[in-house]
Amino acid sequence: MLESLTGSERVAAEVAQVQVPAQAGTKQRPKAGVLPKRAESLEIYRRMRLIRDFEELVQALFLKGEVHGTTHLYIGQEADAVGVASALGDEDRVAATYRGHGVSLAVGVDPQSLLDEMLGRATGVCGGRSGSMNIVDLSHRLIGCFGIVGGSIGAATGAALSLSRQGKGGVAVAFFGDGAVNQGYFGECLNFARVLSLPVLYVCENNRYGEFTPFESVTAGEIVERPKTLGIPSEQVDGMDVFAVRAAADEAVKRAREGAGPQFIEALTYRYVGHSRADPAKYRKPGELDEWKERDPLTVARGRMTEEGGVEASEVDEIDSEIEALVAQLRAEGLAAPMPDPAELESASEFKP
């Protein structure tokens, strides 16, 4: 019956029909999600451990002057990228922000070429031309990490338009921060995606701050409510629990793949370090960081895997040691990698990521 309506009538009718998931306010902890099979749970933990140790290495190398420009670290938010990426397939596309190392590793960018990129080396994933903020790796579905706040929203919406035309079931994902929801194109893109019923998953990582500003001081109402006004299913998840994020993403991606149009997840999370390397994060309330660390994504995942997933603590310890060794190797190889030949800068426009 909806087929017989015109575009705007159809949207109005669909909005009226939409079943908004029974939803939590910020205070109620959202559902926890079922654990995947053992091997997959261990892989999910491995990715999060890799991101944590990789970021700590980048931080150390930045302080030694080996990483130029700036860095925006993902420490504390690992569960969001890994949980969502674990729900994706090869046909999907992902756009992220300048805080993009975590998403890059989560979608499978080679850690050595990512670190080499941070170090400006010729062997970097973008040939040393991007540095920390603008990583692209089309071979791993990553269409870009964007320095413009909310840039990923536009990029993923465009990618979703293209995917919908290809008709192969691909879904585009936009990761962005709480600060991006007050950009004009947030509303423009969500509206566009809803009207055209595009296969896109919007993932707002609400890490409580946009640079040095607490999000609630600049954001009216609840972020999770805004997409619902357009008829977009929208859910708040515990962004410190990778299995909760994974479960929500899995359902949302499935819905988008099956033609239900755009989907929205707000992941409640926290960044452990300052906005960028120049920021000592003195604006936080006393005790706030420690409170969030009590629900550290790695600790939460370890706890759930050992309590509910039939995993031994020793297996998790083994992953920790394996990643520690891997990251030491990344460091040594990265620092030994060649710098780009300045003569090749001329051919920058021909560089194919």
Ligand X SMILES: Cc1ncc(C[n+]2csc(CCOP(=O)(O)OP(=O)(O)O)c2C)c(N)n1
Residues 208-237 that bind ligand X (CB under 6 A): 209-211
Q: In angstroms, give the least distance from the CB of 293 to ligand X.
A: 18
288 binds, among Mg ion, ligand X, none (CB under 5 to 8 A by kind): none
Task: Give the residue among 119, 111, 31 at the shortest CA–CA distance from 67.
Answer: 119
Distance, in Å, from the CA atom of 154 to the CA atom of 64, rounded to the nearest integer, reads 36
Angle between helix 7-17 and 184-195 (nearest 10): 100
Q: Which residue is nearest to Mg ion (CB)?
A: 177
Judged by DSSP in three states, 257 sits in helix
Task: Please list every residue from 272 through 301 that binds ligand X, using CB under 6 A.
Answer: 275
The single residue among 30, 33, 120, 177 that binds Mg ion, judged by CB under 5 A, is 177
Q: Which does 74 bind (CB under 5 to 8 A by kind): ligand X, Mg ion, none?
A: none
Applying CB under 6 A, which of residues 127, 177, 199, 231 lies at the interface with ligand X? Answer: 177
Beta-strand ranges (E) seen in the chain are 93-97, 142-146, 172-177, 200-206, 209-210, 213-214, 234-238, 263-268
With CB under 5 to 8 Å by kind, the binding choice for 334 among Mg ion, ligand X, none is: none
211 binds, among ligand X, Mg ion, none (CB under 5 to 8 A by kind): ligand X
Q: Please give the Cα distance from 270 to 291 (Å, whole number).
A: 10
Rounded to the nearest 10 degrees, how much is the dihedral formed by the CA atoms of 297, 303, 306, 309? -60
Q: Can residue 174 be called a binding residue for ligand X (CB under 6 A)?
A: no
Which residues in 113-152 contact ligand X (CB under 6 A)? 147-149
The reply to whether 99 sits near ligand X by the rule CB under 6 A is yes
178 is an interface residue for ligand X by CB under 6 A: yes
Provide, rounded to whole angstroms, the least separation between the CB of residue 271 and ligand X: 6
Cβ proximity of 65 and 120 under 8 Å: no
Q: Identify the residue among 180, 232, 273, 327 touching ligand X (CB under 6 A).
A: 180
Q: Which residue has the tokens 């999910």?
A: 44
3-state SS, residue 108: coil
**Amino acid code (one letter) for 156:** A
Q: Which stretch binds Mg ion (CB under 5 A): 120-128, 199-207, 222-230, 297-305?
A: 199-207
CA distance 30 to 155: 29
Closest separation in Å from C-beta 210 to ligand X: 3
d(CA 28, CA 6): 39
**Residue span 203-242 as binding mask against Mg ion, x where in contact by CB under 5 A, dash where not:** ----x--x--------------------------------
| Cβ distance to Mg ion smaller for residue 116 or 178 | 178
What is the rounded CA–CA span in Å between residue 241 and residue 113?
28
Stretch that binds ligand X, among 40-48, 101-109, 176-184, 219-227 (CB under 6 A): 176-184
Residues, the chain? 353
Q: End-to-end alpha-carbon separation of the chain, Å?
A: 46
Tokens of 19: 């079943």
Q: Which does 226 bind (CB under 5 to 8 A by kind): ligand X, Mg ion, none?
A: none
- Sheet architecture: strand order including 200-206: 142-146, 93-97, 172-177, 200-206, 263-268, 234-238
Closer Cβ to ligand X, 150 or 261, answer by number: 150
Cβ 75 to ligand X shortest distance, Å: 12
- Which residues here bind ligand X, judged by CB under 6 A? 97, 99, 147-149, 177-180, 207, 209-211, 275
